[in-house]
Structure 1
């Protein structure tokens, strides 16, 4: 008659057989996509080919070991090693990586990363218990249990070392191996106040001279205002004149005295007056877009996919005109695929009537006028002039990054003729510890065509993305669920250009 110990060991073995078989078969069924996902990993990008096959073979081989009584203990140790490795991998991804891929199969792919981490920890505990119980069934129990514990400890150390070595060998680490030198400004900002927003789903929708406006990704039909003193928050519901759209990513943008609710996947743009909850349909089915900037009361600048040239394009949308669209497909110069390599952020400097387009993957930003004529083509201080991306086209026509791209510029904002740009690259002589809990902001003068200097913004290391908004002499920063107000020092405000800028 089988003991409870024996049944537990068998149950654990069957569980891992089911887990590894299901995961490996799911990967095999969509192997092309699995390889792409592995290649996108910041840890496995440099050995993606080997890892994609190695994981499948190992998982299936462990299943075979677990089936037979003679090899079951080896299968349990192997399961322990795999699950510890997967756990360390997820921990590193969550805490040290800017890029979070998905490289699991089947039902595990539906889990969030933190849920997946908890699941993996539970499987490590389960395999540990099964190994100890199986070892304890034979003679010389104490000696064998001690040996088993030491062996598991050794396997844990080996798996941890393996993940760390792969991470440091990864192509992704190139972002920390640059040779440009930053000029750090002396106390350019002073923190004055923080406001707890309770949740981390807010984004900057714009500002006026006395208020900062926020949208919320989870409640897209709400407009939140905060006075610049960060004393009081008010929320107003937005009521569109029609809801017969399948909204996917509705966003709000302020350009006083009006505000706009839009969704480029529908596509629709609503227009309303600040203080009034009702918005009317201003543009419907005139243009699909990924980004939208309201230039004035009658026109918008947008970015979109231009199918004839298979690339991103900028354009002007004037909803009230007879011919509302003007596309400028030649503005963003492609070097590879035309979509990922031209990706970036658009900003409008209302004080100087300039549009600024900051590329994500190369050291370039464009300055354009109202008609999308290029006024300046400038470089950031780093040396990445060509996007370091590798795009793969799947058999169904979809395109994905074949490995983690080197993101040069993370986020930015433009105001008073200055570009404030969060860089993703560490310069020479910079302390890596400063990068763990800070974001570096590089400041450029658009009018004077030069780099002014840099400063750090404090943030928790688990926060990957911050947002910036400038009002008067204040810099507002969204970090997680907090909004922080900083005051600019004179060494920055003396570069502010308020009014029509000098032409670069």
Structure 2
């Protein structure tokens, strides 16, 4: 019986030597990919660099401990702890994670996650069996061994939860800039080739997607659900003897709005009808506009009193514009350093402003009150913009700034930001051929994950919009429609937002 126990322990030890050697060599041969996979884990992403090296070192050390009879018991305890940690890691990934990355190599990587979990649990019990077989005979020693195994299991679980909690904290609060990519978040549905790359998104109705065109600013284009034909509507304003410089069209059912903040003027017309009536003229100059209802608009304007780009409200029934220069944060010039994207979420009646050159966005109500400031996961908190004044009195940026948030769109309480910056452990070549879109809650400080959308390498004309749980992109002259997977749609919240919690 004693001989059988010795043989069983030796077989189990050799099994773990082969297992850990094989796993370690597989990881070493594709170490960059292994580190990247660890970085995608919501449990360990912040510590991907140290953990990837640590796992390799532990696996190789355990192999050495198992080879020699004097250190074999210690090696089996280490094997037990490692396999228990791997089992808990998979369990937590399956039950607490939206994305399910792989962090194994070779044959083990081909297993599905349930099979992998069963394999790890079985090997954990095998390691425990070998330890018990090496224990001195007697009830007392067996109980001590079982107590030690339970203690190591508990400590391993606590350590894993601490790592998870710390990783979440660093991602959500300390801006460690490690993205978590969701698995298969979008599915390609339809493509439509546009006649040029001058198109932009104007809005949606229940049955159509609307586009504007900067080359033909008085035209509105509609594409139905079949994605086969585009219908053109010409817009005829009731007055148009102005010098238009930056005209755009925005759809807010049942109307469309043609506007130009350099005139400044806003027209309104019924969707499908050619005639557009002036609803605001010479009220206030603006650079961006969002229709918040059919009688009011959120705008980006300029406060001469405070010398700062500002958020404001305009109304069709009054001449005065409400300007609130205190909302945006002035660091240098008050114009370039406050650049950003103005958005409106009709499902939550919230106005969002996303800064272009720093890792912040602002959430407000439709009165531009209840200001909440949240951070993105990027680590650039200051713009670093240098502004020079030209002889003609105009100003320009001395050097090209780092763009933190390129494009943005808000839908049902979720802010989608296209970020051109590369995060930790991300493949540079792959990022160049994709849009990287990060997701945030607009009701609390929470990063929800990221996903890639393919694009042509070197194509810089990109834009996206969301409607009816569907993602639309314009990449150059190509319009593409994607359907969202459940790991994204589960975050959408219809109806008025609840109380917003400040960071």
* Equivalent runs, 1:425-504 vs 2, <5 Å: 425-504=421-500
Structure 1 residues 449-475: Cα deviation after superposition (integer angstroms, max 9, x where no partner): 310000111111221131111111210
Question: Superposition RMSD on alpha carbons, in Å?
Answer: 1.2
Give the alignment of 1:341-352 within 5 angstroms.
341-352=337-348
Residue by residue over 1:114-163, the C-alpha shift from the partner in whole angstroms, topping out at 9 and shown as x without a partner, is xxxxxxxxxxxxxxxxxxxxxxxxxxxxxxxxxxxxxxxxxxxxxxxxxx
* 1:257 is the counterpart of 2:254: yes
The aligned runs of 1:404-423 (5 Å cut-off) are 404-423=400-419
* Structure 1 SS opposite 2:283: coil
Partner of 2:96: none
Larger relative contact order (Cα-Cα within 8 Å, sequence gap ≥ 6): 1
Residue 325 of structure 1 corresponds to which residue in structure 2? 321
Contact persistence 1:194–1:483 (CA under 8 A): yes
Matched ranges for 1:147-226 at <5 A: 180-226=177-223
Deviations 1:340-397 (A, max 9, x none): 0001000111111111100000000000101001342100001111102111112321
Task: Detail structure 1 runs of 4+ shifted over 3 Å in the superposition.
Answer: none
Secondary structure class of the residue paired with 1:371: coil
Distance 1:382 1:404 in 2: 18
Structure 2 CA distance, aligned partners of 1:313 and 1:243? 28
Runs of at least 5 residues in structure 1 that lack an aligned partner in the other structure: 1-177
- In structure 2, distance between residues paired with 1:492 and 1:182: 15
Q: Does 1:313 align with 2:310?
A: yes
Cα distance between partner residues in 2 of 1:487 and 1:280: 36
What corresponds to 1:132 in structure 2? none
The answer to whether the aligner puts 1:289 opposite 2:260 as a matched pair is no
Give 3-state SS (helix, strand or coil) of 2:178's partner: coil
Q: Counterpart of 1:117?
A: none
The answer for the alignment partner of 1:374 in structure 2 is: 370
> What displacement does 1:501 show?
1.4
Aligned residue number for residue 279 of structure 1: 276
Give, in whole Å, the separation in 2 of the partners of 1:485 and 1:501.
27
Using the alignment, how far apart are the partners of 1:192 and 1:212 within structure 2? Answer: 15
Which residue of 232, 236, 255 maps to 2:229? 232
Aligned counterpart, 2:89: none
8 Å contact kept, 1:366–1:374: no
Map 1:24-173; keep pairs closer than 5 Å: none
Q: Which has the larger radius of gyration?
A: 2
- The DSSP-based 3-state class of the residue aligned with 1:476 is strand
How far off its partner does 1:179 sit?
5.4
Aligned to 2:379: 383
| Count of residues in correspondence between the two structures | 326
Please list the CA deviations of residues 309-367 of structure 1 after superposition, one character each: whole Å capped at 9, or x if unmatched.
2210111101212x531110110010111000001000111111111100000000000
The answer on whether the counterparts of 2:460 and 2:476 sit within 8 Å (CA) in structure 1 is no
Distance 1:212 1:351 in 2: 18
**TM-score (norm. length: structure 1):** 0.63
1:190 to 1:205, Cα distance in 2 relative to 1, 3 A:
same
User: Shift in Å at residue 448 of structure 1?
Assistant: 4.0
SS in 2 for 1:433: helix
TM-score (norm 2): 0.64
Shift of 1:447: 2.1
| Partner Cα distance (1:395, 1:309) in 2 | 23
- Distance in 1 (CA, whole Å) between partners of 2:345 and 2:382 is 27
Unaligned runs of 5+ residues in structure 2 are 1-174
In 2, the alpha carbon distance for the partners of 1:368 and 1:228 equals 33
